[in-house]
């Protein structure tokens, strides 16, 4: 085969030569290698750094998973203790007072995702390591972001309800401390454990839209805060992290488990897109869904309201039977959070509080072996338009 230099081609030929990879939504396009996360879409398995997420959900903690994602291996006891201590210290978790003042200045109707996006971006101005992109500095920044994002989310919840933010409690792990800062009450063991497992399950997911956004930003050699801010913007959309909120809106619309079957059959007949179902990579049920279904059911039982999970189970059964489209991570997470008394519009910020672990791991990996991410478009517009002066149009 004759090797052609792409500069010998006409612009049209060059694009045609590339367009074999032109797939809408970059479906099935491999854009880079990565050691962080593997999704087996046919078997329904999710692996972080070699470890099955089922095992991590059963045996690990969110803090340990964060370490695993950033350092590539499970910590020894000594490494874990030092990492945990820094991550949970009040100095790492607390917000600069000027940032809290900034939050107080926002209109109360600002959505929690808008607040998170704004707050994370603003935090860079207070970080002593910004704009140092060395690995050591980036890990310190990732540590602060992971520790401060729960404080930020909880502070906004308090401020918009006209209450004072609650200071972090260094005796509680990240999951329990977040629930405490939201309500002022220490969570039950079941709630804290469930929340910790939910954080583990959302911590990374290969080149999903928000992670890719983070990597694209990082690949320009921009900084950790800019990359995470980009990722938060991408996560906000209803086709990505915003789906968990939409699921709960659907559940609230259905209200009564006895009405769920008729509701979903009509929605299918109307060709509606049902949030919490389907996935670009999984061909079977998302492996995270089973854990969240079980935990949401347990929490619902404890709270004396099993109706949400019953509604979701019926919707899932009919979607599976009729459309062969399976639950994803977003179907059951909201029902668990709702049972903990968390408002619906906080579900996506909670997703971000966990996914920041993965985003940061991907920024570290990108900066460890960087090349600018700059794809091409297959141009389908006009090429020989004649400019007509505005006075003659």
Ligand X SMILES: CC(C)(COP(=O)(O)OP(=O)(O)OC[C@H]1O[C@@H](n2cnc3c(N)ncnc32)[C@H](O)[C@@H]1OP(=O)(O)O)[C@@H](O)C(=O)NCCC(=O)NCCS
Residues identified as active-site: 240, 279, 330
Minimum Å gap between C-beta 328 and ligand X is 4
User: Minimum distance between the CB of residue 316 and ligand X, rounded to whole angstroms?
Assistant: 11
CB closer to ligand X, 185 vs 283: 283
Sole residue written with tokens 């939050």: 103
Helices (H) and strands (E) in the chain, counts: 18, 3
Neighbours of 56 (CB within 10 A): 23
Q: Count residues binding ligand X (CB under 6 A).
A: 15
* Least distance from ligand X to the Cβ atom of residue 213, Å: 15
- Strands 37-40 and 45-48 turn out to be antiparallel
Return the beta strands (E) in the chain as ranges.
37-40, 45-48, 51-52
Residue 92: CB minimum distance to ligand X, A = 30
Residue 274 near ligand X by CB under 6 A: yes
Rounded least distance, CB 313 to ligand X, Å: 16
Chain centroid to CA 282: 17
For the window 333-372, what string marks contact with ligand X as x by the rule CB under 6 A?
A: ----------------------------------------
Enter the tokens of residue 331.
């179907």
What crossing angle do the helices spanning 330-339 and 307-323 adopt, rounded to 10°? 170
Q: Which of 25, 97, 162, 304 binds ligand X (CB under 6 A)?
A: 25
- Single out the residue of 280, 302, 306, 345 in contact with ligand X (rule: CB under 6 A): 280
Nearest residue (CB) to ligand X, 279 versus 362: 279
The nearer residue to ligand X, 70 or 347, going by C-beta atoms, is 347
Q: Do 141 and 218 meet the contact criterion of CB atoms below 8 Å apart?
A: no
**Whose Cβ is closer to ligand X: residue 28's or residue 189's?**
28
Single residue of 265, 273, 283, 301 touching ligand X by CB under 6 A: 273
φ and ψ at 381, to 5 degrees? -90, -175
> Which whole-number Å values give the CA distances from 36 to 32, 243, 287, 360, in the listed order?
12, 24, 17, 11
**Looking at beta carbons, which residue is closest to ligand X?**
278
DSSP state of 179: H
Instruction: List strand residue ranges (DSSP E) for 126-230, in order.
Output: none
Sheet holding 51-52, edge to edge: 37-40, 45-48, 51-52
Q: What DSSP string runs through 55-77?
A: HHHHH--HHHHHHHHHHSSPPPH
Candidate list 39, 65, 243, 250; residue touching ligand X; CB under 6 A: 243
Residue among 65, 100, 175, 275 that touches ligand X (CB under 6 A): 275
Calculate Rg over the CA atoms of the chain.
Answer: 23
Draw the binding track, 297-336, toward ligand X (x: CB under 6 A; -: no contact).
Answer: ----------------------------x--xxx------
Say how far residue 232 (Cα) sits from the centre of its chain.
Answer: 8
CB of 344 to ligand X, least distance (A): 15
Do residues 300 and 306 make contact, with C-beta atoms less than 8 angstroms apart?
Answer: yes
Binding ligand X (rule: CB under 6 A), the pick from 279, 291, 310, 355 is: 279
67: which residues sit within 8 A by CB, 6+ positions away? 74, 75, 79, 80, 83
Pick from 119, 276, 287, 358 the residue near ligand X by CB under 6 A. Answer: 276
Nearest distance in Å: CB 104, ligand X: 33
Of the listed pieces 194-202, 269-277, 376-384, 385-393, which binds ligand X according to CB under 6 A? 269-277
Q: Write down the H helix ranges in 161-208.
A: 174-183, 189-202
User: Using CB under 6 A, which of 180, 195, 277, 359 touches ligand X?
Assistant: 277
Q: Which stretch binds ligand X (CB under 6 A): 81-89, 252-260, 278-286, 372-380?
A: 278-286
Q: Which is nearer to ligand X, 64 or 245 (CB)?
A: 245
Contacting positions for ligand X (CB under 6 A): 25, 239, 243, 273-280, 325, 328-330
């Amino acid at each position: 085969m004759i090797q052609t230099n792409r500069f010998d081609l006409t612009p049209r030929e060059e694009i045609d030569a590339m367009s074999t990879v032109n797939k809408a939504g970059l479906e099935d396009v491999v854009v880079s290698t990565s050691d962080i996360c593997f999704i087996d879409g046919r078997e329904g398995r999710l692996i972080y750094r070699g470890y099955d997420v089922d095992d991590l959900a059963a045996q690990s903690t969110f803090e340990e998973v964060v370490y695993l994602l950033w350092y590539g291996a499970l910590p020894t006891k000594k490494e874990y203790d030092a990492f945990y201590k820094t991550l949970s210290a009040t100095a790492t978790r607390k917000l600069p007072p000027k940032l809290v003042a900034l939050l107080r200045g926002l209109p109360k109707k600002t959505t929690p995702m808008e607040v998170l996006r704004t707050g994370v971006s603003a935090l860079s101005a207070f970080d002593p390591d910004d704009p140092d992109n060395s690995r050591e500095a980036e890990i310190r920044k990732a540590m602060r972001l992971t520790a401060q994002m729960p404080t930020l989310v909880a502070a906004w919840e308090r401020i918009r309800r006209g209450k004072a933010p609650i200071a972090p409690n260094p005796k509680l792990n990240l999951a329990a401390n977040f629930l405490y800062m939201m309500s002022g009450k220490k969570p039950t063991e079941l709630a804290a454990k469930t929340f910790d497992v939910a954080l583990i399950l959302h911590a990374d997911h290969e080149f999903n839209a928000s992670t890719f956004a983070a990597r694209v930003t990082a690949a320009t050699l921009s900084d950790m805060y800019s990359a995470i801010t980009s990722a938060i913007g991408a996560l906000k959309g209803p086709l990505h992290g915003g789906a968990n909120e939409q699921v709960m809106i659907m559940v609230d619309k259905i209200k009564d488990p006895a009405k769920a079957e008729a509701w979903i059959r009509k929605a299918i007949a109307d060709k509606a897109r049902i949030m919490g179902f389907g996935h670009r990579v999984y061909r079977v049920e998302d492996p995270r869904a089973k854990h969240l279904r079980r935990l949401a059911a347990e929490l619902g039982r404890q709270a004396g309201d099993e109706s949400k999970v019953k509604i979701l189970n019926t919707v899932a059964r009919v979607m599976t039977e009729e459309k062969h489209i399976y639950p994803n991570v977003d179907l059951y997470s909201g029902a668990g959070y709702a049972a903990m008394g968390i408002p619906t519009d906080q579900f996506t910020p909670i997703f971000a509080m966990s996914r920041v672990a993965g985003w940061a791991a991907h920024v570290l990996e990108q900066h460890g072996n960087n090349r600018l991410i700059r794809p091409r478009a297959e141009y389908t517009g006009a090429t020989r338009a004649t400019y007509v002066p505005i006075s003659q149009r």
